[in-house]
Amino acid sequence: RSSDLSRRSMAGNEDVTREISVVLRIRPLNSKEIRERSDVCTNVSADGKAVDLVGSERMHFDFDAVVGPEGKQEDVYNASAKPVVDDFLEGFNGTIFCYGQTGSGKTYTMEGEIDSEDKRGLLPRMVCSVFDYMERAGEHMQFMIQVQFLEIYNEKIRDLLSPDKDNLKIREGKTGDIYVEGASSHYITSELEVQQALEAGASSRSTAETFMNQASSRSHSIFILTLEQTNSTDGSKKKSKLFMVDLAGSETVKKTGAEGQTLKEAQAINKSLSALSNVIFALSEGKASHIPYRDSKLTRLLQEALGGNCRTALIINCSPAKMNESETISTMRFGKSAKRIKNRAHINKEQSPAELKLLLQEMQRQNRELNAQISAKDFEIQALKTV
C-alpha cells in the first residue's frame, strides 16, 4: 500500500524524460530442468542489481533490479510495476511489459494466482493499488475507470472480452493517439469486476502445449486500464492509460517441438518479437531516422510506450538452467538494449476554467511588461535620432 509521499515519483514535474526501467526475474528450476539435472548458470549480485552468467561463457549484466528464484511476487511488483503505477495515478501514461522465452514465467509474473494474497501477479496488485488510491482520495475527487483486454494472435487483433470481435484495425486519432477501432470498453466500479474481466479474458486467450510449457501462450495479451480523475473543487481533470502487456514467449522450434498450427503460431510470434527487437534497437542507438513501428501490430499499438509519452517498465523473465543458456543470454541482451531507450512523459491534465483564467492573467501581465519595454526602447531610439 503506497503512501501519498511514495506516490510522488514523478509528481511536481509535468514533463519528465526517463529511461525504460528493466527488471530481471529469474524463476526457480522447473520439473523438466530438475529431471534432466541441468546446472544453474545464473548468479545474482549481493545488491540485487546485476547477474553473472557462468555457463559456456562468462557474461555480466546490470539492470535496475534482479529478482532471483527465491523472490516473491511482491518483490517483483515493488521493483518494477509500482513506480509506473504510482505515476499513472498522478496522470502519466504507463506501460508494463513481461518478456522472455516460452516457459520462463511471464504469465505467472503478470497474472499469478489471482485469489492468492502472496501469489497474485502484477495485474491484480495494480488493480488493488488503483482502488486503494481512490478510497483514500477526498470526496472532492471523482473517478471513472474503463478496461479493455486485447489479444494479438497471428498478427490479428482480437477482443478478449468480446471474442467474436476479430481482426480489429489499429487507427490513429486526430491528436496522434493510437487506438483499436471497434474494441469494447467496459466501465468498472469494483476490484471484483476487474477480476471477472481478467478471468473472462484469460479463458479466451489462445494457448497450446509445447515441450517447454503445458499451457504456452500463443499470443500477446494487452490489458488497458483508463483512469479519469476530476477535481470537483477546481474543475481540473486528468486522464491516463496503463497498458499491461504479457508477450508471447520467444521460441526455439527445435526445443518446443512445435509443428502444424503450433509451428505457424511460433513463426508469427517470433516475427512479431523480432519487429519489437528492431524497434528497441533503433531507439537504443538514438541515431535512426526511421523507427519501424508499423512492421507489426504489436509495435504499432505500443508506439507510445517505446520512445513516446509514457512511463515504461520491462520485466524480462529467464530460466536459471544451463540447458536454456542461449535463450537466457538473448533475453538479457534484449533487456540491456531496452534500458537505453528514453521516454518523455507528461501529465495528461485538462486545466480548469479557474486555472485557465489565472494563466490568461499571467500572459496579460507579461504582455504589459513586454509592451512597456518596447515603448522604452522606442523612446531611446527617438532620443538618439534627435542628437
pLDDT along the chain (387 residues), means of 10: 41 73 97 95 96 92 97 97 96 94 91 92 96 95 96 91 92 88 95 91 65 54 95 89 89 48 67 88 82 92 88 96 93 93 86 69 86 85 78
CA distance 344 to 17: 4
Closest-CA residue to 63 (of 331, 293, 306, 248): 331
pLDDT at residue 205 in the model? 76
In three-state secondary structure terms, 177 is: coil
pLDDT at residue 3 in the model? 39
pLDDT at residue 179 in the model? 92
pLDDT at residue 362 in the model? 80
Kindly report the backbone phi and psi dihedral angles of residue 319, in degrees, each rounded to the nearest multiple of 5, phi listed first: -90, 145
pLDDT at residue 268 in the model? 73
**Locus of grid cell 498522478:** 90
CA distance 350 to 379: 42
CB 344 within 8 A of CB 15: yes
Task: Kindly state the cell numbers that stand for 145.
Answer: 475507470
Orientation angle between helical segments 122-136 and 82-89, nearest 10 degrees: 40
CA distance 210 to 26: 21
CA distance 186 to 41: 45
pLDDT at residue 354 in the model? 67
pLDDT at residue 208 in the model? 40
Q: How far is CA 261 from CA 83, 161, 207, 348, in A?
A: 39, 24, 11, 43
